[in-house]
């Protein structure tokens, strides 16, 4: 049995049909895990749901259904009723240990399923703009996107990882204006070409700041930036060599970050690639009446649909982000076969943008686009201790945050047997894991205040705590002279003490948790589960010896410890976090 929850739902439905002569749906059958294990492994409020419909007391209904369930005895040790009408189900020891043993049978596949096989989802995330820094907001975006990609794939989804990047537009014109018009920056350009990538990106950051100031002043300098922007769109040979060179600087810089974070993409889309197609589609939409002219621009009047009015083509004939989005959607929905869904992981300020562009696309081709696009937004990030120092002005860059985490992570690495090379590798894994977990442990739409000290800690709900628990489990398993043979192990030969039972009663939930985390786009649900599992395992580990246990107990504890280690490894992998054997 892989997931017991669906079987218990079937059992409760069947019991209700036999005992109450009433047919109910899966949605009517609630099943929750009680916080207090005294109330069983699952608790259902089915009787409370049916009470009004049947005009009977919840307790009477609960007792009737419970009696019918007891006759089946499916994986259940106890079926009890508690006021005001809950049906509490306790799983057998045999089921718990059978499922624990299955972890060691399928290893990395434990927690995976084919529940969503046949779905093709394009997940679009990261989205850094060239000629600008990769900042802490991008870091939350890519961390969320990476985990969602892994979770969806674990459920059988055919997943396409996409990254849409802005390499044309005013932000690029501002950076190139700074490079060409500010003498103190332009004089560094030749020198920077001979230096490393870090210096080049630093120079781009300075140039962008100056270009932004120039545009904000208005007047002549604003006109210069606007003219430069038009030249980029027109691929003017006087600016394209510099655009091409500096664009590549950014792409090389982003590639370093992707590798450091353990992310990759199947398709990179660029605004320079889609804007012409977007212009064409927008003009066709104008002819068909979906868009209309307004004060020299081409706009969508969303009032009829309760949406905003947004510009698709400016008065100067340039495409806006909205028009580019039409070109992007055309490519995304034509290159990968029929898409079940296209999910855009983008900050919440783009909510109106997506509502409008989705509606325009739907009006253009309802068969292709309707109900197949989704904007997954996420909360903002600030720093608990204020802005961290960065050479790119007041921006908190992803690399500066990771480097600061790395400095703190060095203090946690205590294993004296590690070589210097191993110590550096472990330090990097701890630092990246600490930052990622801190960005994932909260609900995606919640604004968070990033606490560097708390994130890189071996206590509390943190990435390093989970990585340490894995290393701790692996350490004790290595100390066994030989792994106990589980060939003759039977659940009948052992009893579970309270600490062992607490661990076993969490292990079987892992596939259920991964399915829910993928369905709800909620990596934090998985993080909460892993933290609880680690707490229960460490309580068991601190109280009961594995190495000095009697043979039957040692077999059981070896089984539990091995399963916990595998689940933590699998779970952290789904969050995009690496584990290490020593720490």
Among 45, 5, 53, residue whose Cα is nearest residue 29? 45
Annotate 84-101 with three-state secondary structure. CCEEEEEECHHHHHHHHH
Cβ distance 376 to 343 under 8 Å? yes
Q: What is the pLDDT of residue 110?
A: 97
Rounded to whole angstroms, the Cα distance separating 351 from 349 reads: 6
pLDDT at 390 over 60: no
524-542 pLDDT per residue, tens:
999 999 999 999 999 999 9
Cβ distance 505 to 38 under 8 Å? no
Q: What is the pLDDT of residue 201?
A: 93
Cβ distance 394 to 376 under 8 Å? no
Across 181-320, the runs of DSSP E, i.e. the strands, are 267-270, 292-294, 297-300, 310-313
pLDDT at 346 over 80: yes
- The helix or strand, by DSSP H or E, that contains position 383, with its residue range, turns out to be strand 381-383
Mean pLDDT to the nearest integer, 565-572 = 98
Cα separation values, 157 from 112, 152, 385, 515, 521, Å: 11, 6, 40, 12, 13
Rounded to whole angstroms, the Cα distance separating 124 from 368 reads: 18
Rounded to whole angstroms, the Cα distance separating 292 from 304 reads: 13
**Residue 216, SS3?**
helix
Cβ distance 258 to 265 under 8 Å? yes
pLDDT band at 1 (very low <50, low <70, confident <90, very high): very low
Cβ neighbours of 18 (radius 10 Å)? 15
φ/ψ of residue 80, rounded to 5: -125, 160
pLDDT at 554 over 80: yes
Q: Token digits for 335?
A: 């290159």
Find out whether the peptide bond into 84 is cis, omega within 30 degrees of 0. yes
**Every domain range in the chain assigned CATH 3.30.1360.70:** 4-91
b/e burial code for range 472-511 (CB count within 10 A of at least 16 → b): bbbebeeeeeeebeeeebebeebebeebbbbbbbbbbbbb
Mean pLDDT to the nearest integer, 97-108 = 95
Measured in residues, the chain has a length of 583
Cβ distance 89 to 72 under 8 Å? no
Rounded to whole angstroms, the Cα distance separating 527 from 193 reads: 44
What dihedral do alpha carbons 96, 98, 103, 105 form, nearest 10°?
180
User: Tokens 């920056």 label which residue?
Assistant: 185
Residue 265, CB-side half-sphere exposure with 13 Å CA sphere: 20
pLDDT band at 486 (very low <50, low <70, confident <90, very high): low
pLDDT band at 116 (very low <50, low <70, confident <90, very high): very high
CATH fold group of domain 4-91: Gyrase A; domain 2 (3.30.1360)
Q: What is the pLDDT of residue 414?
A: 83
Q: What is the pLDDT of residue 533?
A: 98
Antiparallel, parallel or unpaired: β 120-124 and 341-345? parallel
Mean pLDDT to the nearest integer, 345-358 = 97
pLDDT at 471 over 90: yes
Cα separation values, 549 from 98, 493, 543, Å: 21, 15, 12
Cβ distance 146 to 174 under 8 Å? no
Q: Token digits for 13?
A: 């439905």
pLDDT at 99 over 50: yes
| Phi-psi map region of 109: left, alpha, beta (phi>0 left; psi -120 to 50 alpha) | alpha
User: Tokens 């929750």 label which residue?
Assistant: 32
Non-local CB neighbours of 229 within 8 Å, separated by 6+ positions: 169, 170, 172, 173, 318
Rounded to whole angstroms, the Cα distance separating 522 from 520 reads: 5
Expressed in angstroms, the distance from the first to the final Cα of the chain is 35
Rounded to whole angstroms, the Cα distance separating 281 from 353 reads: 17
pLDDT at 483 over 90: no
Mean pLDDT to the nearest integer, 113-120 = 96
pLDDT at 178 over 50: yes
Q: What is the pLDDT of residue 323?
A: 98
**Every domain range in the chain assigned CATH 1.10.730.10:** 398-440+451-574
Q: What is the pLDDT of residue 391?
A: 36
Rg over alpha carbons for the chain, rounded to the nearest Å, is: 28
Cβ neighbours of 259 (radius 10 Å)? 10
Q: What is the pLDDT of residue 389?
A: 38
**Residue 426, SS3?**
helix
Mean pLDDT of the chain: 94
12-69 pLDDT per residue, tens:
999 999 999 999 999 999 999 999 989 999 999 999 999 989 999 999 999 999 999 9
Rounded to whole angstroms, the Cα distance separating 509 from 530 reads: 11
The architecture CATH gives domain 398-440+451-574: Orthogonal Bundle (1.10)
Cα separation values, 543 from 68, 81, 498, 540, 549, Å: 40, 33, 11, 5, 12
Among 151, 140, 130, 148, residue whose Cα is nearest residue 396? 140
pLDDT band at 494 (very low <50, low <70, confident <90, very high): confident
């Amino acid at each position: 049995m892989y997931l017991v929850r669906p079987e218990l739902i079937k059992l409760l439905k069947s019991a209700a049909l036999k005992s109450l002569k009433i047919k109910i749906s899966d949605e009517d059958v609630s099943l929750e895990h009680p916080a207090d294990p005294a109330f069983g492994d699952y608790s259902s409020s089915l009787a409370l749901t049916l009470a009004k419909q049947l005009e009977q007391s919840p307790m009477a209904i609960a007792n009737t259904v419970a009696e019918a369930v007891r006759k089946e005895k499916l994986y259940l040790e106890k079926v009890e009723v508690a006021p005001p009408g809950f049906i509490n189900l306790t799983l057998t020891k045999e089921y718990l240990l059978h499922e624990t043993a299955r972890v060691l049978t399928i290893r990395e596949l434990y927690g995976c399923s084919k529940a969503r096989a046949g779905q093709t989802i394009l997940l679009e995330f990261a989205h850094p703009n060239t000629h600008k820094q990769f900042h802490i907001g991008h870091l939350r975006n890519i961390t969320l996107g990476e985990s969602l990609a892994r979770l969806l794939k674990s459920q059988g989804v055919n997943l396409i990882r996409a990254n849409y990047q802005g390499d044309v537009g005013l932000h690029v014109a501002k950076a190139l204006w700074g490079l060409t018009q500010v003498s103190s920056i332009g004089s560094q350009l030749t020198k920077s070409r001979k230096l490393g990538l870090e210096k080049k990106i630093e120079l781009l950051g300075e140039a962008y700041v100056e270009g932004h100031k120039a545009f904000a002043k208005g007047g002549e300098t604003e006109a210069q930036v606007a003219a430069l922007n038009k030249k980029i769109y027109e691929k003017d040979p006087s600016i394209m060599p510099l655009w091409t060179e500096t664009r590549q600087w950014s792409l090389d810089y982003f590639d370093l970050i992707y590798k450091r974070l353990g992310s990759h993409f199947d398709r990179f889309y660029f605004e320079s690639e889609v804007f012409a197609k977007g212009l064409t589609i927008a003009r066709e939409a104008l002819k068909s009446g979906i868009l209309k002219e307004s004060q020299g621009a081409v706009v969508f009047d969303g009032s009829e649909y309760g949406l905003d009015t947004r510009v698709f083509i400016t008065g100067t004939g340039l495409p806006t982000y909205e028009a580019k989005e039409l070109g992007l959607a055309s490519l995304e929905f034509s290159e990968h076969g029929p898409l079940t869904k296209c999910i855009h992981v983008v900050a919440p300020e783009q909510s109106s943008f997506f509502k409008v562009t989705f509606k325009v696309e739907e009006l253009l081709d309802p068969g292709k686009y309707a109900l197949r696009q989704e904007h997954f937004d996420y909360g903002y990030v600030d720093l608990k201790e204020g802005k961290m120092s960065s050479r790119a002005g007041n921006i908190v860059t992803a690399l500066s945050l990771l480097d600061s985490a790395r400095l703190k992570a060095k203090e946690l690495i205590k294993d004296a047997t590690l070589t210097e090379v191993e110590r550096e590798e472990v330090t990097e894994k701890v630092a990246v894991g600490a930052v990622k977990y801190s960005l994932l442990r909260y609900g995606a739409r919640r604004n968070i205040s990033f606490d560097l000290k708390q994130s890189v800690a071996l206590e509390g709900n943190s990435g390093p705590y989970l990585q340490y628990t894995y290393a701790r489990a692996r350490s004790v398993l290595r100390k066994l002279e030989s792994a106990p043979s589980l060939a003759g192990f039977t659940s009948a030969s052992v009893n579970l003490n309270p600490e062992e039972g607490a661990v076993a009663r969490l292990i079987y939930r892992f596939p259920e948790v991964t399915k829910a985390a993928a369905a709800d786009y909620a990596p934090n649900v998985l993080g909460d589960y892993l933290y609880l599992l680690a707490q229960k395992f460490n309580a068991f580990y601190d109280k009961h010896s594995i190495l000095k246990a009697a043979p039957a107990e040692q077999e059981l504890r070896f089984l539990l410890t091995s399963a916990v280690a595998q689940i933590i490894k699998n779970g952290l992998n789904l969050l995009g976090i690496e584990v290490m054997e020593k720490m």
